[in-house]
A and B are shown apart, each in its own frame.
Chain A
Amino acid sequence: MSMVDQPVRRGEIPEPRFGFWRRSFAMVIKEFIQLRRDRVSFAMIVMIPVMQLLLFGYAINTTPRNLPTAVLLQEDSDVARSILKALENTAYFRFTREVHDVAEFDNLLLSGKVLFGVEIPRGFERAVRRGERPALLVAADATDPVAAGSAMSTLGVVAQTALEHDLFTGDPAAPPFEIRAHARYNPAASSRLNIVPGLVGTILTMTMLIFTALSVTREIERGTMESLLSMPIRPIEVMFGKIVPYVLVGFVQATLIVGIGVLLFGVPVRGSLIMLALLSTLFITTNLAIGYTFSTIVQNQLQAMQLSMMFFLPSILLSGFMFPFAGMPVWAQYIGEGLPLTHYLRIVRAIMLKGAALQNLEYDTIALFALMLLAMTIAVTRFRRTLD
Chain B
Amino acid sequence: MIAAPVSAPEIAIDVHGLSKSFDGREVVHDLSMQVKRGTIYGFLGPNGSGKTTTIRMLCGLLTPDSGEGRCLGYDIRRDADKIKRQVGYMTQRFSLYQDLSVRENLEFVARLYGMRDPQGAARDMISRLGLSGREQQLAGELSGGWKQRLALGACTLPNPQLLLLDEPTAGVDPKARRDFWNEIHALAAEGLTVLVSTHYMDEAERCHEIAYIAYGYLLAHGTVEEVIAKSALSTYTVTGDQLHTLQDQLAGKPGVDMVAPFGTSLHVSGRDKAALDATIAPWRDDKGLHWQHSEPSLEDVFIELMTRSKDNFQ
Taking Cβ atoms with an 8 Å cutoff, the residues of A that contact B are: 1-2, 4-5, 7-13, 15-19, 22-23, 25-27, 29-30, 33-34, 37-38, 222-227, 229-234, 385-388
A163–B190 CA distance with the chains assembled, in angstroms: 100
User: With A10-B191, A15-B85 in contact, do A231 and B109 touch (Cβ < 8 Å)?
Assistant: yes
Q: Give chain B's interface residue range (CB within 8 Å of chain A).
A: 35 or more
Q: Which residue of B lies closest to A36 (CB)?
A: B99
Chain B residues positioned under 8 Å from A386 (CB to CB)? 60-63, 80
User: With A19-B114, A226-B91 in contact, do A11 and B159 touch (Cβ < 8 Å)?
Assistant: yes
User: With A1-B123, A8-B159, A38-B99 in contact, do A13 and B113 touch (Cβ < 8 Å)?
Assistant: yes
User: With A13-B158, A13-B159 in contact, do A224 and B96 touch (Cβ < 8 Å)?
Assistant: yes
Query: Is there contact, CB below 8 Å, between A232 and B190?
Result: no
A292–B204 CA distance with the chains assembled, in angstroms: 44
A186–B123 CA distance with the chains assembled, in angstroms: 61
A13–B100 CA distance with the chains assembled, in angstroms: 26
Chain A residues positioned under 8 Å from B100 (CB to CB)? 30, 33-34
Query: Is there contact, CB below 8 Å, between A30 and B104?
Result: yes
| 29 pairs of residues in contact across A and B, judged by CB atoms under 8 Å | A1-B120, A2-B117, A5-B115, A5-B117, A5-B120, A8-B159, A10-B192, A11-B161, A12-B86, A13-B160, A13-B161, A15-B85, A16-B114, A18-B114, A19-B114, A27-B112, A30-B104, A33-B104, A38-B99, A223-B95, A225-B95, A227-B89, A227-B91, A231-B113, A232-B84, A232-B112, A386-B62, A386-B63, A387-B56
A7–B115 CA distance with the chains assembled, in angstroms: 11
Query: Is there contact, CB below 8 Å, between A5 and B95?
Result: no
The answer, yes or no, to whether B111 is at the interface (CB within 8 Å) is: yes
Chain A residues positioned under 8 Å from B99 (CB to CB)? 33-34, 37-38
Partner of B98, one of A16, A23, A222: A222
Interface residues of B in 63-87 (CB under 8 A from A): 63, 80-81, 84-87
Query: Is there contact, CB below 8 Å, between B108 and A10?
Result: no
Query: Is there contact, CB below 8 Å, between A26 and B112?
Result: yes
The answer, yes or no, to whether B124 is at the interface (CB within 8 Å) is: yes
User: With A7-B159, A9-B159, A11-B159 in contact, do A30 and B114 touch (Cβ < 8 Å)?
Assistant: no
Taking the nearest CB of chain B, how far is it from the CB of A218, in angstroms? 10
The answer, yes or no, to whether B127 is at the interface (CB within 8 Å) is: yes
Partner of A16, one of B56, B91, B113: B113
Taking the nearest CB of chain A, how far is it from the CB of B122, in angstroms? 11
A66–B91 CA distance with the chains assembled, in angstroms: 63
User: With A7-B159, A10-B161 in contact, do A230 and B97 touch (Cβ < 8 Å)?
Assistant: no
Chain B residues positioned under 8 Å from A37 (CB to CB)? 99
A231–B60 CA distance with the chains assembled, in angstroms: 10
Chain B residues positioned under 8 Å from A8 (CB to CB)? 159
A224–B151 CA distance with the chains assembled, in angstroms: 12
Taking the nearest CB of chain B, how far is it from the CB of A268, in angstroms? 43
Query: Is there contact, CB below 8 Å, between B61 and A226?
Result: yes
Q: Which residue of B lies closest to A1 (CB)?
A: B124
Query: Is there contact, CB below 8 Å, between B97 and A30?
Result: yes
Chain B residues positioned under 8 Å from A223 (CB to CB)? 91, 93-95
Taking the nearest CB of chain A, how far is it from the CB of B270, in angstroms? 42
Most-contacted residue by chain B among A12, A19, A231 (CB, 10 A): A231
Interface residues of B in 106-154 (CB under 8 A from A): 107-109, 111-118, 120-121, 123-124, 127, 154
A32–B25 CA distance with the chains assembled, in angstroms: 41
Chain A residues positioned under 8 Å from B62 (CB to CB)? 386-388
A1–B59 CA distance with the chains assembled, in angstroms: 33
Most-contacted residue by chain A among B37, B99, B121, B123 (CB, 10 A): B99
Taking the nearest CB of chain A, how far is it from the CB of B25, in angstroms? 14
* Additional A-B contacts beyond A1-B123, A223-B91, A226-B95 (7; CB < 8 A): A2-B124, A8-B159, A12-B86, A19-B114, A26-B112, A227-B91, A230-B84
